[in-house]
Each structure stands twice: as structure tokens, then as C-alpha cells.
Amino acid sequence: MPTVIVRNLSDETHRRLKQRAAERGHSMEAEIRLILDEAVRPKKDVGLGTQLQALGRKYGGLPEVKRDQTPLEPAVCE
């Protein structure tokens, strides 16, 4: 698992992180992980369909496709 070191944290920030962690019953390290996770997580999960729809809009939509309406013959099992 990757490790990150944050240098030159102000005393005030360190104190507030420590206080925030204590209020939530976490270690300071666990609290910092939670803060970072929340900061980089998308605000809303976007599904594949939504992404494809946005891509289609960006590039002018999908081409008009005419479906073949000819009825299919039923399969014959011998």
C-alpha cells in the first residue's frame, strides 16, 4: 500500500486534525485517510450508460439507424 508523507504542516492544522480524530474515535492517521478519500471521491457515482450518453452528446449524438422490421422465421428443430 502506498505511503504519503506530508511535511511542514502548521501546528494549528496538526492540532485540529488530532482534535477531529479524537472526536470521531479515530487515530489521526485514520482520520487523514478518511479526509483524503472524501476529497478525491467523485461527488456522484456515474454509471457507464451515463458516461456513454454524455460522450454521444459531446460528439453530436448517435447516427440514425433504421432497424430491419422484417419478421423472423421461427427456428426449426429437427
The reported pTM is: 0.54
What does the pLDDT average to over 24-39? 94
Domain residue extents for the chain? 11-43
* Whole-number Cα distances in Å, 57 to 30, 43, 60, 63: 41, 22, 5, 11
pLDDT at 61 over 80: no
Side-chain half-sphere exposure of 14, counting CA atoms within 13 A? 6
What does DSSP assign to residue 41?
A: S
pLDDT at 36 over 80: yes
